[in-house]
Chain A
Amino acid sequence: MPDGDWEDFAFEGIGTQWEISTPVPLNGPVRARLLERVERFDAEWSRFRSDSRVSALARRPGCYEFPEEAQRLGSLYRTLYGITDGAMTPLIGASLERLGYDAGYSLKPSGSPLAAPAWDEVLDWAGTTITTTAPVVLDIGAAGKGLLVDLLAEELVAVGLEAFVVDASGDLLARGPLPTEVALEHPYNPAQAIGIVPLAGQSLCASASNRRAWGDGLHHVLDGTTGQPVGTAVATWALADTTMLADALATALFFVPGDQLQEEFDFSWLTVFSDGSAAHSAAFEGTLFT
């Protein structure tokens, strides 16, 4: 990474490709520990597996105890729910399923867009305890991948590593003294970049309105108040101290302008619009090709 000569540990987890780069190769026990952490996360939070806790929640309302990471996730989602007027919600799962993004990947809308239920009507998320009064499809997609990046970084720190880069298919965390030069992918051409950001000790995540597109005009960033996909911005980047925050805020930038989000969160942002213009905070000054 920083010297271009690091060792990569690549694997697949939560449906995406991962690459962890370190100055020396990770040994077998550390690799096993990382994979085990990924599996534990998936077993709790995936709405695509019938044995997950989230699937249990979808089948039957009640009180469920989630692992430690539920605390930070719930509090972040609650703040975002407020600041986006309900547009960003973990209760969007049923809306995604209605539009065809279901466990069977039918990719066919099964009805008109479905608005997410109001948080306070069906959900009480207190620390690690989630209590529901109706069957809900919990989808933590806006922050889950970033959260898992942070959890894997914690595992690496726990075994004594100080310098590493975690790359979850374009969502990145870098630790160590030297910066990693990161290209910002062109929204319409993955062979091109629109800028370069040096990443050190922070996380950088991207989101795009077209990232998980599957049908005409239907894409994965949904407005929870209407259940409809959102438009205008085509790509966003967020730079923050945790990957969970960067991941979530990259999505939030589709609903709330960056300068407004900055009043609530300590982070840097870049939004690219469909006409090729860009808006950004100070940290992205001078990073874009113009």
Chain B
Amino acid sequence: MAGLSLAGTVAGCAPSAADSAQGAPAKSAAETTAATPSAAASSLAGSGSTYKDGTYSADGSYVSPNGSETVGVELTLAGGTVTDVNITQHPSNPNTRKFQGEFAGGIAGQIVGKSIDELNVSKVAGSSLTSGGFNQAVEKIKQEAQ
């Protein structure tokens, strides 16, 4: 029975066919995107290291369906905490600019964006297109602000 248990419970399988094939454990690679922007911001604030006060900006890059884009992140640090975050999208790709323009234009009877900071919410449901780029920019700022 020891051999069988290695292959899992073989209820539905002929014992010889199952192969548990234990290889060398590999590091589990990322299956989804990185952390949300807010998580990245709070980890900067709560990391315990000291950062110099000031306003820092850095660019991070991400890839949209329309090609490579950059996202600008500006953080204001005071007393080791983040007091302000500004995100500027400066899309180089004409399609992204077009889409952003259409969103910004507030199509009649259609959706518009509101700043999450101004909303009374505890969670965000989304896929964070730019979160990788945001985190990248925050990393640069962390080094810069040391």
Which A residues contact B (CB, under 8 angstroms)? 1-2, 4, 10, 14-17, 19, 21, 42, 46, 48-51, 53, 55-56, 59-60, 62-66, 103, 105, 126-129, 131, 141, 144-145, 165, 167, 169-172, 180-197, 199, 204-217, 219, 229, 231, 234-235, 237, 272, 274-278, 288-290
Contacts and interface: CB of A to CB of B under 8 A. Distances in A.
B26 to A, nearest CB: 4
B18 A145 contact: no
Given A62-B19, A188-B96, A209-B65, A193 B35 contact: no
A192 B13 contact: no
Interface stretch (B51-59, B75-83, B118-126, B137-145): B118-126
A98 to B, nearest CB: 17
A10 B38 CA distance: 13
Nearest to B110: A277
B47 interface: no
Nearest to A239: B125
Interface of B: 7-14, 17-37, 39, 62-65, 67-68, 85, 87, 89, 96, 99-100, 102-103, 105, 107, 109-117, 119-131, 134
Given A171-B125, A182-B122, 9 more contacts: A2-B122, A16-B33, A55-B21, A60-B19, A65-B13, A190-B126, A209-B65, A213-B63, A275-B102
| Highest count of chain A CB atoms <10 Å: which of B19, B21, B102, B128 | B21
* Interface of B, helix, strand, loop or mixed by DSSP: loop
Contacts of A213: 62-65, 129
27 contacts: A1-B122, A2-B122, A14-B31, A15-B28, A17-B36, A64-B19, A170-B125, A170-B126, A170-B128, A172-B123, A182-B123, A182-B124, A185-B126, A185-B128, A186-B113, A189-B130, A190-B37, A191-B116, A193-B115, A194-B113, A194-B114, A195-B111, A211-B32, A211-B128, A217-B65, A234-B99, A272-B111
| Highest count of chain A CB atoms <10 Å: which of B10, B110, B134 | B110
A276 B13 contact: no
| Highest count of chain A CB atoms <10 Å: which of B26, B27, B63, B126 | B126
A126 B7 CA distance: 18
Contact of B65 (A190, A231, A288): A231
